[in-house]
Chains A and B, each alone.
Chain A
């Protein structure tokens, strides 16, 4: 339902608000902006955005990115057929070989955990969910109470 408004008060308030002068900006604003600009100028070109790089560096960067993207696209579509990639895959597998026992251990642990959860049934999930919800609600409630106390106290200060 649309609230009833008092047109006279609305007009008066609009006039008063329009008459309000601009708030004075803090004296620290201009020095802060100038310092930020100085810091920006002192940054080396490779730490600025690409648009602010020197033209030659922009061109080289563009070529490098295009080359990488081209290579990725090539190997993703046709490169798997190449013998080079097969060799690389074998090499990667050889590098990862020492991690195989750790991976097996992780898989066993995950399977055991899944088995325990399946045995425990729905009740445990509900209990964990209820505990989490209760913890969340009490945090929000406590935070709100503290906020109200702080706001009240600060509003009562002269």
Chain B
């Protein structure tokens, strides 16, 4: 019998990592919360092994990533159609939407810079954000990403390149992020 308080502590230890993995891929907090809930419900079924395992974090991250990608695949036709009509001319709106910092200490500037980068990442179109996140956060190779997303290697390289360029352009609009 699993002790609920022990499982709660287990969730508390990993919830931010699981939620971050999901939200960076799906780009929606409510969807990411649903995915995180599903991850922990699955973890509960394997809790006896996971509670002893040093690789529990890796297991949770993999399940979160797979569930997030499955979620995106389910809505793929929809996001593909609309992703093509989202334009780079939203950059100006994006820069204006980020509040300027009012304090100038180094620590706060770094925190602001991270906040700007996180927001810029979230605003990327799905077809750019997903490969970029898989490349930089999950350390997958271009080939692995192409195989996982079932798209050509060339498209993955182009999308990641465009994502980087979009981030550079968007961060350049924001004075806090110029140190990036």
> What 1/0 flags go to B1-19 for Cβ under 8 Å of A?
0001001100110011111
Most buried by B among A16, A24, A34, A158: A16
- Asked if residues A144 and B157 are in contact (CB atoms below 8 Å), the reply is no
CB distance from A39 to the nearest CB of B (A): 11
What residues of A have a CB within 8 angstroms of the CB of B127 in the complex?
none
Please tell me if B107 contacts chain A, counting CB pairs below 8 Å: no
Q: What number of A-B contacts does a CB cutoff of 8 Å give?
A: 101
Interface size classification for chain A: 35 or more
Knowing A23-B20, A23-B23, A36-B37 touch, does A147 contact B85 (C-beta < 8 A)?
yes
B29→A144 contact, CB < 8 A: no
Q: Complex: how many Å from CA A140 to CA B81?
A: 9
- Asked if A21 lies at the interface with its beta carbon under 8 angstroms from chain B, I say yes
B117 interface residue per 8 A CB criterion: yes
Q: Chain A contact residues: over half helix, strand or loop, or mixed?
A: helix
Q: How many residues of B contact A (CB 8 A)?
A: 45
Q: Residue A102 at the B interface, CB < 8 A?
A: no
Residue pair A34, B16 in contact (C-beta under 8 Å): no
Nearest residue (CB) in A for B157 is A2
Closest to B44 in A: A37
Q: Among the listed stretches A3-11, A61-69, A78-86, which one makes contact with chain B, having 4 or more residues with CB under 8 Å of it?
A: A3-11
Contact residues, A128-158 vs B (CB, 8 A): 140, 144, 147-148, 151-152, 155-156, 158
Query: In whole angstroms, how far apart are the Cα atoms of A14 and B139 in the complex?
Result: 10
Minimum Cβ distance to chain A for residue B167 (Å): 6
Query: Bound complex: CA of A3 vs CA of B164, how far in Å?
Result: 12
Question: Is the C-beta of B126 less than 8 angstroms from some C-beta in chain A?
Answer: no
B33 x A26 contact (CB < 8 A) = yes
Are B20's CB and A30's CB within 8 A? Answer: no
Interface residue B118 (Cβ < 8 Å from any Cβ of A): yes
Give Cα A94 to B152, complex, Å: 61
Interface centre among A10, A22, A40 (most CB of B within 10 A): A22
Residue A25 contacts which of B16, B97, B114, B121 (CB distance < 8 angstroms)? Answer: B16
C-alpha gap A13/B145 in the complex (Å): 19
Say whether A2 contacts B90, CB under 8 Å: no
Partner of B164, one of A9, A25, A28, A36: A9
| Measured CA separation A140–B157 after assembly (Å) | 29
Q: Are A10 and B33 touching (Cβ within 8 A)? A: no
Give, as a whole number of angstroms, the nearest-CB distance from B91 to chain A: 10
- Asked if B41 and A37 sit within 8 Å, CB to CB, the answer is yes
Verify if A97 is at the interface (C-beta below 8 Å from B).
no
Contact B167 A33 (CB under 8 A): no
Closest CB in chain A relative to B24 CB, distance in Å: 8
A21: B residues at CB distance < 8 A = 114
B161 touches A5 (CB 8 A): yes
From known contacts A24-B16, A156-B93, infer whether A33 and B40 are also in contact, taking CB-CB under 8 Å: yes
B180 within 8 A of A: yes
Between-chain CB contacts (< 8 Å), 6 pairs: A3-B161, A10-B164, A25-B15, A29-B36, A33-B40, A37-B7
Residues of A within 8 A of B (CB): 1-6, 9-10, 12-14, 16-26, 28-30, 32-34, 36-37, 40, 140, 144, 147-148, 151-152, 155-156, 158
